Structure 1
Amino acid sequence: MNWSVRPESFATAEATRLRRAYYAEVAGRYWHRPATEAEVDAGLADDPPDLLVPPTGEFVVGRYGGEAAACGGLMLLPGGPARLPAAELTRVYVSPAARGTGGGGALLAALEAAARRLGARRVVLDTRLDLVEARGLYGKHGYGEIAAYGEPGPYSEIWYGKQLTG
């Protein structure tokens, strides 16, 4: 089976299902217990859908064997870190059943291509230290640890960046 990753509305049923699964997993891991539906609803209330469409960003859904199994978004940052036009990755998620199949790499490639189309020369992100799978994915695909470009907090413990070429 192969992965296909394409832009998709943040609000489609499949994108919403994936975003809910993302939040349920990261919140549950943070709280060391399953997140309730109400907690997932509250967590997703602040999602930035208006920034995840061109010309300020993009949201993509990845399908593995035709099934929606991954998602991610990017938003252009005003001015960007290091004064380079930058895009920030957000909501990067591969369903547990599809991990280890190349979906994370396919998702990053699509998001980096979108960042280039939108004029970004650098991609940055923040994450938590306990999200070891995500941190491993970023490292494997050329992301290195960078100085914080936002305020540290319980959900922002480590920052990564990658210069885009081509």
Structure 2
Amino acid sequence: MNHWTFAPEAVGTPDASLLRHDYYDEVASRYWKRPATAEEIAGGLAGDGVELLTPPTGEFLVGRYGGEAAACGGVLLLDADRAELTRVYVRPAFRGKGGAGLLLGALEERARGLGARRMVLNTRLDLVEARALYTRHGYAETPAYCTGPYMDVWYAKEL
């Protein structure tokens, strides 16, 4: 029987690397309204700070469905009380199987384990599915806690 499992994984493993690549490909392609090139994807992944997604500063999870790498996400401690949700992604073939909500729950649990009492995130207005997921799971819009070129809306949730 197929089911979801989530476990910490180094961002450089083959499965984690491919998931991060697929995540960046999708969000960049949607932003540019055209397929992202291999060079653009590589550039976006280079120096993106994922090395901080390891304890004690964060954690990166890989979700598997029926044993196949299907999802990923990270949490990054911003300070003693807050963690940032980042790189939340479910491969298209695995959407609609309940994994996104389970992934959020697993990431929230990891953030609490790192000492966070509040989860924050930023996203873009065009990522309507992600925004719906976050609000469905108790995240509410909050004032900006950071700035950047790909940030349109910010959310927070008390853990």
| Aligned counterpart, 2:102 | 106
CA deviation string 1:71-95 (max 9, x = no partner): 001100035xxxxx00001111000
Q: How many residues are aligned here?
A: 158
Specify the code of the residue in structure 2 equivalent to 1:159. W
Where structure 1 has 5 or more consecutive residues not aligned to the other structure, the ranges are 80-84
- Cα distance, 1:100 vs structure 2: 1.1
| Aligned counterpart, 2:61 | 60
What TM-score, normalized by structure 2, do the two folds share?
Answer: 0.97
C-alpha RMSD over aligned residues: 0.9
| Aligned counterpart, 2:11 | 10
Residues 17-166 of structure 1 aligned to structure 2 (within 5 Å): 17-78=18-79, 85-151=81-147, 153-164=148-159
Q: Percent identity?
A: 63
- Cα distance, 1:49 vs structure 2: 2.6
Q: Secondary structure at the match of 1:142?
A: coil
Q: Secondary structure at the match of 1:74?
A: strand
Where structure 2 has 5 or more consecutive residues not aligned to the other structure, the ranges are none
Q: Which runs of 4+ in 1 moved over 4 A?
A: none
- Cα distance, 1:142 vs structure 2: 0.6
Q: Secondary structure at the match of 1:47?
A: coil
Specify the code of the residue in structure 2 equivalent to 1:24. D
